Structures are given as structure tokens and as C-alpha cells.
């Protein structure tokens, strides 16, 4: 089996970048379509449309309805047949980006990803997370290539809610934990090939950056300041975590995250990274990692206000029926618990969640 490392063709990050982005877009053609949701259209999209138009591009737009499902993707494709778009601009959060990648792949046109938050590592990858229309996790879709261009405007991102940056930090911190698990297990990355040393190094460097600069970047975000620390964390959340997870591999943390799609309640109000914070801790318990490592993560997550126990996820740690539903979904075929060094059972997942809860109760009450 070969080793495989992939990346977007070009990644550009900087303050007020969108004001200078016309020439980047025009390398793919002069007819562009902006895919975004209603909120981002009002906040950023409409003015960006006008700016690109003033630079000589022909721009159309379609409003995304909120779920990266096959039905929604097909609806957008049907609407796009009425345009002459040469390039798709996916402007917004993770689900807009995931849907955009699926659409661009099916239509065989270039995609430019423009994240408006640093909450996920979706922008750089050749992977989409697809859901059922009711929001339950369905599958990961893999494409022939990564995005053609990723534009990260840190002036837009610093004005996003601080909660989104914190969620991205949690998602980024899962990258090193999962990549190490895949590496030690001689597993495969998201692309089904062996991870490279480079991917593991990026995943671990992502972890270093987030532990070093995470708290400062959050404070800078609160004050709407684009600083070196903020730029570093945005890069770690989006680029380093994106390269690290895709080419390094996913394991229990993201499998367990997907398991939560089987239940309803408070968890449905949490962002992707907020759920991943909790499931990363569960992975560390499953792996019986040293207490010092577990404590290091809990300490930072606690300072950031992320979920560290069942209560934070809206769960009763004694409700084994509900925990069992999560475990069953986590173990579904094609998911990443198979990347763990040994076979993990439903009972072990439930016990690991409960053990984490007891540890937090005893040490962080």
C-alpha cells in the first residue's frame, strides 16, 4: 500500500483578503456562482457579489437551505443548470462547504472555498460529511481532488462569534490524537492509504500551536484584534488540521462524534467542534492514555468552556440506553473506530463515557 498526502492547490490567508480576491477567482473564469446561506449572504455575500461584479466578473448566487444532504445538493445542481457558472464559490460554514465540494465534483467545475469562521477543518479537504434530511450522519464522500483554492479572510473570521473559533480549536486538537492513533495502529488515512510522516508532523504541530496560542487567540477574537496569535490559530484550525486529518487519518473521536447523531436533545445545539472536544476525551480514556495527557486536554477545554462531561453534552451518564444508541451509531460500518489499535465494543464505549464522567466529577467538581 502506498503513502498518500494531498492538499488544496492553493491556500491564501490574510486580513481583508476578499477585497483583493478578484484576480484569484478570475484564474478559473469570469462566471462565478456564490453558494451561501441566508445569514452569510446578508452579512458578507451580497457585498462580495457587488465587489466581484465591479471587477468584471459575472456573478450569480444560490441560497443553501441548511443541510448537506443528497436532496439539497441535487436541488442546487438543478438550479445551477440555469446559469453559465465556470467556478463555484462556497462561502460560509462547514455544511455549505461540504455541499459545495459535492456539487463542484458532480459538475466537474473548480471550487473556491471561502470560510467565514475558523470552526472546522473542512475547507482544505477532498471530503464531505453528508447527512440525511433529518440531520442524522449518513456517510463521508470522497472526491477526486481537493479544493482548487481556499481563501481565508481573517478580518471576516475575527468578527465571527468567539464560540466558532473555540469549536475550531477543539476540532484541531482532535487531529493529533487521531493521527497518532492511526499511525500506531499502522492504519490508513481518510483516503484509504498509509499516512506520511509529513501528515503526522503537521497534525502534531497543529496541536502545539493550539496549546501555545489558543487562549490568547480567543482573547484577541473577543477584542476583534487580528494578531499573530490569532493568525496562527486560524491557520492551525483550518490548514494544519485540514491537512492533518485528511492525510493523517481519523479514528475514535470523529466516529464517536458521528454517534451523537443518533440522539436528540442539547447535543443538537452544539457545534461540531464542541462535540469533538468531548469525544476526544473519550478516545483518550478508551486508549488508556496517561492521566497527565487527559488532564492537559481537560484543563484547556475547561478554560475554553467546552464540554468535558456528560452534563455538558446534555446526557445522563447513568442512561445506558441512550449511551448505547451513541455507541451503536459510532460502530456503524465504514466509520473510524476501526482505526483504533484494538477492536472496540459497544460496552467499552459506554464504560469509557462513564469513566470520563467519574474522572471529571472527582477532579473538577
* pLDDT, tens digit, 9 for 90 and up, residues 15-65: 999 999 999 999 999 999 999 999 999 999 999 999 999 999 999 999 999
169 and 134 share one domain? no
As a whole number, mean pLDDT of residues 126-132 equals 91
Write the pLDDT tens digit of every residue in 212-259: 999 999 999 999 999 999 999 999 999 999 999 999 999 999 999 999
pLDDT recorded at residue 342: 77
Q: Are 176 and 206 in contact (CB under 8 A)?
A: yes
92 and 189 share one domain? no
As a whole number, mean pLDDT of residues 194-219 equals 98
Domain boundary among 158, 192, 220: 158
Residue 339: band (very low, low, confident or very high) from pLDDT cuts 50, 70, 90: confident
CA distance 176 to 281: 13
CB neighbour class for 168 (10 Å; exposed up to 12, middle 13-18, buried from 19): buried
Cα maximum dimension of the chain: 62
What is the chain's mean pLDDT, rounded? 95
Residue 81: band (very low, low, confident or very high) from pLDDT cuts 50, 70, 90: confident
User: In sequence order, what are the beta bridge partners of 131?
Assistant: 137
- Identify which has the larger pLDDT, 161 or 94: 161
Domain boundary among 158, 182, 202: 158
As a whole number, mean pLDDT of residues 288-293 equals 97
Domain boundary among 129, 158, 187: 158
Question: Within a 13 Å sphere around the CA of 234, how many CA atoms are in the beta-carbon half?
Answer: 30
User: At 35, which CATH number?
Assistant: 3.40.50.1970
The residues assigned a catalytic role are 171, 254, 257, 272
pLDDT recorded at residue 136: 78
In this model, does residue 135 exceed pLDDT 90?
no
In a domain, residue 255? The reply is yes
Distances (CA, A) of 239 to 32, 98, 302, 309, 313: 24, 16, 25, 29, 28
User: At 248, which CATH number?
Assistant: 1.20.1090.10
Residue 199: band (very low, low, confident or very high) from pLDDT cuts 50, 70, 90: very high
149 and 197 share one domain? no
As a whole number, mean pLDDT of residues 165-171 equals 98
Closest CA to 160 of 118, 98, 120, 129: 118
As a whole number, mean pLDDT of residues 82-87 equals 91
Which of 181-190, 252-261, 275-284, 338-347 is the least confident region?
A: 338-347
In a domain, residue 3? The reply is no
Residue 333: band (very low, low, confident or very high) from pLDDT cuts 50, 70, 90: low
As a whole number, mean pLDDT of residues 117-129 equals 94
**How many domains, the chain?**
2
Residue 140: band (very low, low, confident or very high) from pLDDT cuts 50, 70, 90: confident
Residue 334: band (very low, low, confident or very high) from pLDDT cuts 50, 70, 90: low
Task: Identify which of 66-75, 265-274, 300-309, 326-335 has the greatest average pLDDT.
Answer: 300-309
21 and 100 share one domain? yes
Q: Which residues span the domain enclosing 38?
A: 11-158
Write the pLDDT tens digit of every residue in 91-108: 999 899 999 999 999 999
CA distance 310 to 333: 25
Amino acid at each position: 500500500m502506498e503513502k498518500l498526502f494531498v492538499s488544496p492547490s492553493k491556500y491564501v490567508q490574510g486580513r481583508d483578503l476578499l477585497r483583493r480576491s478578484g484576480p484569484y477567482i478570475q484564474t478559473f473564469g469570469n462566471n462565478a456562482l456564490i453558494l451561501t446561506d441566508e445569514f452569510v449572504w446578508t452579512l458578507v455575500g451580497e457585498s462580495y457579489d457587488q465587489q466581484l461584479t465591479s471587477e468584471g466578473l459575472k456573478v450569480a448566487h444560490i441560497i443553501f437551505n441548511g443541510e448537506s444532504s443528497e436532496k439539497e445538493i441535487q436541488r442546487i445542481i438543478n438550479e445551477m443548470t440555469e446559469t453559465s457558472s465556470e467556478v463555484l464559490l462556497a462561502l460560509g460554514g462547514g455544511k455549505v462547504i461540504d455541499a459545495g465540494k459535492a456539487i463542484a465534483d458532480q459538475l466537474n467545475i473548480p471550487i473556491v472555498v471561502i470560510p467565514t469562521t475558523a470552526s472546522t477543518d473542512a475547507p482544505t479537504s477532498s471530503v464531505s460529511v453528508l447527512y440525511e434530511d433529518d440531520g442524522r450522519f449518513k456517510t463521508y464522500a470522497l472526491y477526486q481532488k481537493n479544493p482548487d483554492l481556499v481563501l481565508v479572510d481573517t478580518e471576516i473570521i475575527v468578527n465571527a462569534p468567539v464560540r466558532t473559533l473555540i469549536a475550531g480549536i477543539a476540532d484541531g486538537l482532535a487531529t493529533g490524537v487521531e493521527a497518532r492513533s492511526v499511525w500506531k495502529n499502522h492504519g490508513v488515512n481518510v483516503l484509504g492509504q498509509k499516512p506520511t510522516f509529513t501528515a503526522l508532523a503537521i497534525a502534531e504541530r497543529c496541536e502545539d500551536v493550539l496549546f501555545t496560542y489558543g487562549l490568547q487567540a480567543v482573547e484577541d477574537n473577543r477584542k476583534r484584534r487580528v494578531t499573530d496569535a490569532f493568525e496562527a490559530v486560524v491557520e492551525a484550525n483550518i490548514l494544519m488540521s485540514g491537512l492533518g486529518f485528511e492525510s493523517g487519518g481519523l479514528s475514535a473521536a470523529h466516529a464517536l462524534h458521528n454517534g451523537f447523531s443518533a440522539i436528540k436533545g442539547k447535543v443538537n445545539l452544539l457545534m461540531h467542534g464542541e462535540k469533538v472536544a468531548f469525544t476526544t476525551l473519550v478516545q483518550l480514556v478508551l486508549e488508556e492514555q496517561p492521566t497527565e495527557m487527559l488532564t492537559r486536554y481537560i484543563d484547556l477545554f475547561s478554560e475554553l468552556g467546552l464540554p468535558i462531561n456528560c452534563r455538558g453534552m446534555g446526557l445522563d451518564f447513568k442512561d445506558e440506553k441512550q449511551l448505547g444508541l451513541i455507541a451503536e451509531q459510532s460502530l456503524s460500518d465504514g466509520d473510524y473506530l476501526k482505526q483504533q489499535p484494538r477492536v472496540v465494543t459497544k460496552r467499552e464505549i459506554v464504560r469509557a463515557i462513564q469513566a470520563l464522567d467519574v474522572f471529571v466529577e472527582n477532579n473538577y467538581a
